[in-house]
Structure 1
Amino acid sequence: MSFKVAVCYGHPVDQVAFDTYYCDTHAPLARKIPGLSDFTWGKCHTLDGGKPPYYAIASLVFADADSMKSGLQSEEMQQAGEDVRNFATGGVTMYIHEDRSLYNQ
């Protein structure tokens, strides 16, 4: 089991500016969060070709609850969190969830 912080980005005013800022500025800040075991990001698409509710989703993955708690309370997380307002013109929704594999049961 792992723990994830999902960061769901609404559709930005300027997609090119969002992508550039996210990859060049924000992601390097987020990668510094202590306790991360993985960090992924991707743009959203729907199966029917419609507009998805989010533009992109990032996942901050932690091995356990204690690592996640420490990471969320860190100075690095505070800096990354404050940086979101610099590029997330479409808003942001964040939540925490536990991942349990159902594949190999």
Structure 2
Amino acid sequence: MTVSYFALYRTPDDPADFEQHYFGTHVPLVEKTPGLVANRVHRVTRQVVGEPAYFLVAELVFESAEAMKSAFRSPEWAASGQDLQSWGGADLVTMFAAEPHPSAGQQS
């Protein structure tokens, strides 16, 4: 069963500068992470309720919890984390791991 690691980025002060670094430097580093099956980045186009306002949602998909744990110990993952810290992205992000709920997609 696949598992996902989500990064929810709050709206930065300078969205253009954020995107330039995020897509120009950070994403290429993340995509070198061993065991990564997919990197799905979504721009939030409308937030209906809730705080804070989100700008981007990244979903990093791994084929299993074990693959994700192994990836998190890799030098490639460490490099992406160092990059995130270096440009202040860590101040804007909430991160968590999740797996599909066993009842998801089932009809009643």
- TM-score, structure 2 normalization: 0.83
Alignment partner, residue 94 of structure 1: 95
Equivalence map 1:16-95=2 (5 Å): 16-46=16-46, 48=48, 53-85=53-85, 86-88=87-89, 91-95=92-96
C-alpha RMSD of matched pairs (Å): 2.3
Task: Give 2:99's aligned amino acid.
Answer: E
Mean Cα deviation higher: 46-55 or 9-18:
46-55
In structure 2, do the counterparts of structure 1 residues 27 and 9 end up closer, same or farther at CA, with 3 Å as the change threshold? same
Question: Do structure 1's residue 103 and structure 2's residue 101 form an aligned pair?
Answer: no
Pair 66,21 (structure 1): closer, same or farther in 2 beyond 3 Å: same
Corresponding residue for residue 15 of structure 1: 15
List alignment gaps of at least 5 residues for structure 1: none
Deviates more, 1:15-24 or 1:51-60: 51-60
Note if contact 1:9-1:56 (Cα within 8 Å) is conserved in structure 2: yes
Q: Which whole-Å CA distance do the structure 1 matches of 2:8 and 2:95 have between them?
A: 6
Give 2:94's aligned amino acid: T
Q: Deviations over 1:24-79 (max 9, x none)?
A: 11110000000001111111133649986311111110010110000111111111
Of all paired residues, the percent bearing the same amino acid is 32
- Separation in 2 of the partners of 1:103 and 1:35? 26
**Other structure's SS at 1:69 match:** helix
